[in-house]
Amino acid sequence: MKTFDLPKSISSLAEELQIVQMVWQSVPVQIPKFAVYAIIEKPLFDKTVFRNNRKIGLLHFGRFQIPILDPFRGDINFQPNFALIITHSRGNQFGLYGYPADDIESNILLSRDNGSVCRIVKNYV
């Protein structure tokens, strides 16, 4: 199985990859901890809207409006137990979005040589 090198900026700092595992509708999803901005327990959406034929929840924090999206491209039809807020950047622009979660485990470590590291990290670097 192919292994994946961590980005050079962090590879010398870590022998292990920290991940956050969220469970949504009985399906576990692993997110690298370096991409997690916050975990919000019992989030209350300020409103729900339809974008691209999907119902999403919106959370307002100061100047940020954070969309909460179903990771499986479904609708958000009820308040989740958690919202996992994820950072993303493009060039020098910064943004936040979130995933709903029924449960979250945030203390999982994988060796950087583990074959799953590539799959987990690829969308966040």
Query: In terms of Cα–Cα distance, which of 123, 39, 53, 54 is closest to 88?
Result: 123
pLDDT (tens digit per residue) in 80-97 = 999 999 998 777 888 899
Residue 110 in 3-state DSSP?
Answer: strand
Domain boundaries, the chain: 16-121
CA distance 120 to 99: 15
Residue 121 dihedral angles phi and psi, to the nearest 5°: -85, -25
Phi-psi region of 16 (alpha: psi -120 to 50; beta: other; left: phi over 0): beta
pLDDT (tens digit per residue) in 100-114 = 999 999 889 888 788
Give the highest mean pLDDT range of 8-17, 58-67, 109-118. 58-67
**What's this model's pTM, rounded to 2 decimal places?**
0.81
Where does the pLDDT of residue 10 fall: very low under 50, low under 70, confident under 90, or very high at 90 and above? low
Is 124 buried (19+), middle (13-18) or exposed (0-12) by CB count in 10 A? middle
pLDDT (tens digit per residue) in 44-53 = 999 999 998 9
Q: What is the dihedral of CA 21, 71, 116, 95, to 10 degrees?
A: -90
